[in-house]
Amino acid sequence: MIISIETSTSDLSLSLLNKNSILSHISIPIKNELSEIIVPTIKIFLKDNLITFSDVTFLAVGCGPGSFTGIRSVISSALGIIISNNHIKSIGINSLAGLAMPVINEAKKMKLKYIISCIDSKRDDSYIQLFQINNIKNKLLPIVAISDIDTIKIEELCNYLVINNLIVKDVLFVGHQSNIAKNIIENLNVSKNLTQHPDSLGVGKLASCIISNKISINKTTYAFDKFKPIYARSAKINLK
């Protein structure tokens, strides 16, 4: 059983998954008390689902980029849980990859090749990353990161497409300022997913895919066997 946590933006999001099935999901707006409420909220979430930490085999955490406070709080809390429950294995997920995960089927139906994920940096710009959809049947990874994380203003999105040799009709955009992106770039495909920010469902689904298919974490570039905060401060960082 997997519990996934995401706090990279303005919500504390928790999901409970069993293999590829979603058992439960909640999302709570965060104020300033995240570090105080996160562990008690997780315990209540488990109790409401009639389980305890002893039933959990994996803890998956969205490690950013995003809110410095959110990332710091969730990783500190997750490490505490792992130390107190040493049977639980850990997996950290790049939140931009987690954001792309729920819209893969939408992109496939539209016969698109790429997904651009975008997260608010809270600094008048955005964290952005490009993923290629994996349509090869014998390849188990659902998406492949084909760029590092960039920090750009949404007005620079057109240049981002040019630099990455992308054709607009091949791309699905999801995340922060999606409506503005659509207005800036004519014919840009914008996801219709109701959730346009990082959520534990995407983190949990990606973690579940990696775990159930026994994929080597080292081959993904967006997952880690230890909780690793992603603080994207410069224009470009390398996750490898």
Distance from chain centroid for Cα 143: 12
Q: Cα–Cα distance between 97 and 147 in angstroms, integer?
A: 12
Q: Could you read off the pLDDT tens digit of each residue along the chain, which spans 240 residues?
A: 999 999 988 789 999 999 768 999 999 988 777 888 999 999 999 999 999 999 999 999 999 999 888 899 999 999 999 999 999 999 999 999 999 999 999 999 999 999 999 999 888 899 999 999 987 665 688 999 999 999 999 999 999 999 999 999 999 999 999 999 999 999 999 999 988 999 999 999 999 999 998 998 888 999 998 888 997 654 344 444
**CATH fold label, 97-190:** Nucleotidyltransferase; domain 5 (3.30.420)
Q: Cα–Cα distance between 119 and 62 in angstroms, integer?
A: 12
pLDDT at 235: 38
pTM score above 0.85: yes
Give the residue among 220, 120, 240, 109 at the shortest CA–CA distance from 174: 120
Q: Which positions ≥6 away from 75 have C-beta within 8 Å?
A: 61, 63, 227, 229
CATH 3.30.420.40 intervals, the chain = 2-95+198-237, 97-190
Question: At CA 96, angle to CA 9 and CA 115, rounded to 5?
Answer: 130
Q: Is 9 exposed, middle or buried (0-12, 13-18, 19+ CB in 10 A)?
A: buried
pLDDT at 234: 46
Sequence-separated contacts (24+) of 19-23 with Cβ below 8 Å = 19/208, 19/212, 20/205, 20/208, 20/209, 20/212, 22/201, 22/204, 22/205, 23/49
Q: Which positions ≥6 away from 50 have C-beta within 8 Å?
A: none
> Could you tell me which CATH number the domain at 2-95+198-237 has?
3.30.420.40
pLDDT at 237: 45
Which amino acid is it at 111? Answer: K
Q: Cα–Cα distance between 180 and 157 in angstroms, integer?
A: 10
